[in-house]
Amino acid sequence: MRYRQLAPDIRVSEVGFGNWTVTTGWWGDYTRREAVDLHRRAFDAGITFFDTADAYAEGYAEEVLGEALADVRDEVVIATKFGYDIVSEHERRGQQERPHRTDTDYLRAALDASLKRLGVDAIDLYQLHNPRMAHLDDDDLFAFLDGAREAGKVRAYGIALGPKIGWRDEGVHAMRTRSLGGVQMIHNLLEQDPGRELLDVARETGTRMIVRVPHSSGMLEGNLTADTVFPENDHRRHRPRSWLVEGVQKVDRLGFLTREMTLGQAALRWILADDHVATTLPNIYGAEQIGQFAAAGDARDLTAEELAEVAALYERNFDLAAAG
């Protein structure tokens, strides 16, 4: 495993573990023991960056992470997220977004609750979860975060950008107006925009990026087919069939990346070719993923020729029009 700088005095493994997959029920059901054990397997494989959120199962995910890593706290970097109201009762349908709440009194209570659930004195990276423009322009909110950092409750703070509720403009604006310890975004071989533009701004501002969904919800693991049927409790079951069919066709064009590594490893090395990416958060839902993805930290870098071929394929939409 290789390690990179995230924020001042914070180094992280190139491959991290986001525990939403094993705590929210969107990737299948796990007992608490199973979830804890996967955290430990990840740590034993060299993974030191662990990401969660207070909104994941209303704090349960933080509790699991805290239990799993209690005895190795000084050897890991813990990131969590805040900004949603997880206390009030709200009527929600399906995956409908819950309301944000960022008044200072609520934030103070939310931070203390996260610290308690995680069993730590300080959170290494505290991220504003799927922020809107109004949040990024809220000086009181950022004054609170500065105060939390000065008090030693937070080592660094950043933002985690949401995919469908506004994130390109928010990411650009945040990096240019706030001093952030990290920005989390979606980016992968198949979904390169707006990540490319955000990476340009990261270079401009010196911001370090955390990339989640690096395998395009499992598509870039290379084990899906046009006939794949997802289980009832798998969120991908609700995607249009075109996502699966077109994705498999695109993946078929990437065989040149798999001569010395798996496609899943190559997908991570493609993201890590940009030195403004500090770490990646592949969807880990079993021991096999931990072994494969952690090993990507020791795999060779992609060549300039391989990166150029990926860029050309993306610009041609992976030749889908020609194939169809």
Q: What is the mean pLDDT of residues 133-154?
A: 98
Report residue 4's pLDDT band, with 50, 70 and 90 as the boundaries.
very high
Residues whose CB is less than 8 angstroms from the CB of residue 305 and which lie 6 or more positions away in sequence, other chains included:
none
Q: Which domains, ranges and CATH numbers included, belong to the chain?
A: 3-323 (3.20.20.100)
pTM of the model: 0.93
| Average confidence score pLDDT of the chain | 92
Q: What is the mean pLDDT of residues 44-65?
A: 97
Residues whose CB is less than 8 angstroms from the CB of residue 73 and which lie 6 or more positions away in sequence, other chains included:
119, 120
Residue 56 annotated in active site: yes
**What is the model's pLDDT at position 93?**
58
Q: Which of 56, 84, 126, 157 is catalytic?
A: 56
Q: What is the mean pLDDT of residues 222-248?
A: 78
Q: What is the mean pLDDT of residues 247-264?
A: 93
Report residue 34's pLDDT band, with 50, 70 and 90 as the boundaries.
very high
Q: What is the mean pLDDT of residues 105-112?
A: 97
Q: What is the 3-state secondary structure (H, E, C) of 193-204?
A: CCHHHHHHHHHH
Contact in structure between 184 and 53 (CB atoms under 8 Å): no
**Higher pLDDT residue, 235 or 176?**
176
What does the pLDDT look like over 272-308, one tens digit per residue? 999 999 999 999 989 999 999 999 988 999 999 999 9
Residue whose entry in the numeric block shows the structure tokens 């046009």: 226
Residue 125 pLDDT exceeds 60: yes
* CA pair distance 193, 219, nearest whole angstrom: 17
> Which residues on neighbouring strands pair with residue 212, listed in sequence order?
186, 281
What does the pLDDT look like over 80-100, one tens digit per residue? 999 999 998 766 555 668 899
**What is the model's pLDDT at position 97?**
81
**What is the model's pLDDT at position 323?**
45
